[in-house]
Amino acid sequence: MNVLLKSAKIVNAQSKDLHLKKRDILIQNGTLAKIASKIDAPKGTKIVELKNLHVSLGWFDSSVCFGEPGYEERETILNGLRTASLSGFTDIVLNPNTHPIADSSSDIVFLKNASRDSATDLFPLGTMTMGAEGIDLAELYDMSNAGAVGFYDFKSPIENSNLLKIALQYVQNFNGLIYSEPLDTKIAGKGLVHEGTTSTKLGLKGIPSMAEELQIVRDLFILEYTGGKLHIPTISTANSVKLIADAKKKGLDVTCSVAIHNLYYTDQVLEEFDTAFKVNPPLRDKKDTKVLIKGLNDGIIDFVTTDHTPLNIELKAVEFDNATYGSIGLESAFGLLHKIFDTEKCIELLTHGKERYGLSETVLAEGNKACLTLFDPDKEYTFEKDNIHSTSKNSMTIGESLKGKVYGIFNNDQLVLN
């Protein structure tokens, strides 16, 4: 496919000669053929001219759920990847949140095959334990050979400390990455939301910050003993940032992420008992959001994620106590993040993280693969249901004023535009 992007402002701090410069970009057969101030379109080339067009390297999301296989009513792989493309993401890491759950090499092969013709690349996680039940290790080595980029019992804490120890030791043989959900279930108890002033006022059972932090302390002690690679997904408290900062100073190989909604919203939005805001980890207070944002600016938190979790309506349209945790977030990710950070920082955050999974980084230069996200950072609009491409509509961002609109992506020799 041959495409000419006209007058695109390039946002790529690694390319000093191109950063914040307006250029025409000629793509031929999936390759960046030419980048120049003015390019005449060769015959048969599709010309793309868009208002206030900005271009960056393709965006990466480390925590996405779909539904297929088993929960296709929530989201299929095909439509999920189309949604990711239209949201600006050229690469996503898929959580094992399906039925059957991805705990064998054949499950990983199915996911890879189902996604191979899409513009957005899918990199699956396998479970750490069989059936994500926390009892016996799954086929970690075989899943790695099949294409799994890490191992995660999605949203299920590893209660058996020895099992985590063994997993961290075992995967060092093939440079595997272990996830550990930061939640002590005994401390969390039957909590539903962040334990604080809001939970007390609303009469909702609270989850103390300590429930997250105790688990992180344990995991970091084990990591210090075993070595290996550990990822702690979607942290949410101020003290969690401090604990991980201290571990990094010790030289431990640990990374962490934060969900974009945990940077923007606080537990005060729960006053209407809207189940769209029921997420795991819970929305915390203003002190936590400030420290999380600072943690990203300081490089302690490694990357942001949408934590995109589609859910069918009957799991959300119930009493708050009975509602399932989760919100979709792909479509609103850039517009929400851009209300917190400036454009350059947003792009830095959205393009970072692939190296943790052993994935090759793209360089924006002539002769390289074209892996690009197209967007307008200045477009202000109100996010509505019509902006949702996902099959499920469980978004906490509906009705929110956002800044920044995604046009689409070019990747795998495919142009996908809204």
Active-site positions? 307
CB count in 10 Å sphere of residue 259: 27
Residues 6+ apart with CB under 8 A from 355: 361
In SS3 terms, the chain reads as CEEEEEEEEECCCCCCCCCCCEEEEEEECCEEEEEECCCCCCCCCEEECCCCCEEEECEEEEEECCCCCCCCCCCCHHHHHHHHHHCCEEEEEECCCCCCCCCCHHHHHHHHHHHCCCCCEEEECECCEHHHCCCCECCHHHHHHHCCCCECCCCCCCCCHHHHHHHHHHHHHHCCEEECCCCCHHHHCCCCEECCHHHHHHCCCEECHHHHHHHHHHHHHHHHHHCCEEEECCCCCHHHHHHHHHHHHCCCCEEEEEEHHHHHCCHHHHHHCCHHHCCCCCCCCHHHHHHHHHHHHCCCCCEEECCECCCCHHHCCCCHHHCCCCECCCCCHHHHHCCCCCHHHHHHHHCCCHHHHCCCCCCCCCCCECCEEEEEEEEEEECCHHHCCCCCCCCCCCCCEEEEEEEEEEECCEEEEC
